[in-house]
Amino acid sequence: MIQALNVTKKFDKIVAVDNVSATIKNGNVFGLIGTNGAGKSTFLRMASGILKPDSGSIKIDDKEVFDNVEAKNKFFYISDEQFFFSNCTPEDMKNYYKTIYKNFDVDRYKKLMKSFNLDEKRKIKTFSKGMKKQVSVICGVCAKTDYLFCDETFDGLDPVVRQAVKSLFAQDIEDRNLTPVIASHNLRELEDICDNIGLLHRGGMLLSKDLEELKLDIHKVQIVFKDGVDKDVFNKLSIMKTESRGSLNVFTIKGNREDINSYLASLEPVFFEMLPLSLEEIFIAETEGIGYDIKSLII
C-alpha cells in the first residue's frame, strides 16, 4: 500500500503539491488526474523518491521512499519524458534493469519485444516516441515490481497498442496483484481501467474516491417543468451546473441517486431522465465548481 500524508513540495515560490494525502491500495489501478500544472508529475516523482517532500511523507509498504533502496525496489517508474542511456538498445536497457530488479523476467521481455515488433538490437534513439514508450512499458512489467508508476504512459501510443498495454496491466494485476498508478490528461483512457481516482487541482487533492462510487455520487439530469424551472429545486438539491436548451433544463447534481430521483418525480415534470456521466464530465463539473472553467479561460 502507498500512503501519502500531508505532502507538500515547493519550487521557489511555486507550490507544486500542497498538503496532499492519499491512500493507494494494492491490486487496484489508481488514476491521477488533474488540471495542467496540478502537480501530478511532481507527486509521482516524490512517490518514486526522485524528489524529497518539503513536508509530509510518502511511504510504500510502511517504508519511507526517499533515499531508501528497499522501498525503491518495489516499483518501476515510467516517466513522461523517456530517458535511456546514450546510443543504447533495448537489450542494453534490459541488461541494466536485470542488475537492479532481481526478478526481471527475461523470457517475457523477449516474447513481448517480438509481439510488439520491436528490434531489441536497434538504437533506441532511432525509435519514435510511441516505440520508446513501448520499450519502457515492456521493461516495467518485466521488472515484476509490486507497483508501476506511469506518467502519461498512453500518450503517443496508437489505439491498438494502448489496448495491448491495458491488457498487460490487467494480466499482471490478476496474476501477481500489480498496482499501477497512472497520471494522465486522457480521461477516456483511464475510465475503463481505473478502480480509484485522485483529482488534483493547483497542487491540492480535490477528491480521492472509488471510481464507481464517484459516478454514483454525481448525475446529469434532463428535465422539462410544466411551468418553467421550479426555484425550490436549487434549495433542495446540490446543483453544480445548469444549462437551458429551450424548455429543456440540464442539471449536474451531486447526491444520492434515489433521493434525487424521488424528489424530481414529486414535482411531476413533463419529462425527466437521469444520465450517467463520463469521467471527463465529472472532472469538468468538479473543477468548474472551484472556478476552473472554459469561460474563465477564453474571456
Report the distance separating Cα 211 and Cα 248, nearest Å.
Answer: 29
Between the alpha carbon of residue 25 and those of residues 36, 89, 147, the distances in Å are: 26, 35, 10
Question: Topology of 2-210 in CATH?
Answer: Rossmann fold (3.40.50)
Quote the CA–CA distance of 151 and 183 in Å, as a whole number. Answer: 5
Q: What is the DSSP code string of 66-99?
A: TT-HHHHTTEEEE-SS----TT--HHHHHHHHHH
Among all chains, which residue has been given the C-alpha cell 513522461?
A: 80
The per-residue pLDDT for range 167-206, each reduced to its tens digit, is 999 999 999 999 999 998 778 778 888 999 888 877 888 7
- Which one-letter amino acid corresponds to residue 70? E
- For position 155, what pLDDT does the model report? 85
Whole-angstrom CA distances from 78 to 53, 155, 220, 239 are 20, 12, 36, 39
Contact between 290 and 202 (Cβ < 8 Å): no
Which amino acid is residue 26, in one-letter code? N
- Separation CA 4–CA 51 (nearest Å): 14
pLDDT digits (tens, 9 = 90+) for 9-55: 999 989 999 999 999 999 999 999 887 788 999 999 999 999 999 99
pLDDT classification of 291: cutoffs 50, 70, 90:
low
- Determine the Cα–Cα distance for residues 90 and 138; give it in Å rounded to an integer: 10
What pLDDT does residue 191 have? 83
Percent pLDDT > 90 in the chain is: 62
Give the span between the Cα atoms of 44 and 257, in whole angstroms.
34
Q: Where in the chain is the domain with CATH 3.30.70?
A: 217-298
The pLDDT value recorded for residue 235 is: 86
- CB-based burial of residue 174 (10 Å sphere; 0-12 exposed, 13-18 middle, 19+ buried)? exposed
Which of 73, 189, 167, 60 is CA-nearest to residue 112?
167
Longest CA pairwise span in the chain (Å) = 73
Q: What cell does 125 get?
A: 534513439
Which ranges in the chain belong to alpha helices (H)? 40-47, 69-72, 90-100, 106-115, 129-142, 159-176, 187-191, 211-216, 233-236, 257-266, 279-288, 294-298
CATH 3.40.50.300 domain range(s) in the chain: 2-210
Residue 296 has pLDDT above 50, yes or no: no
217-298 CATH: 3.30.70
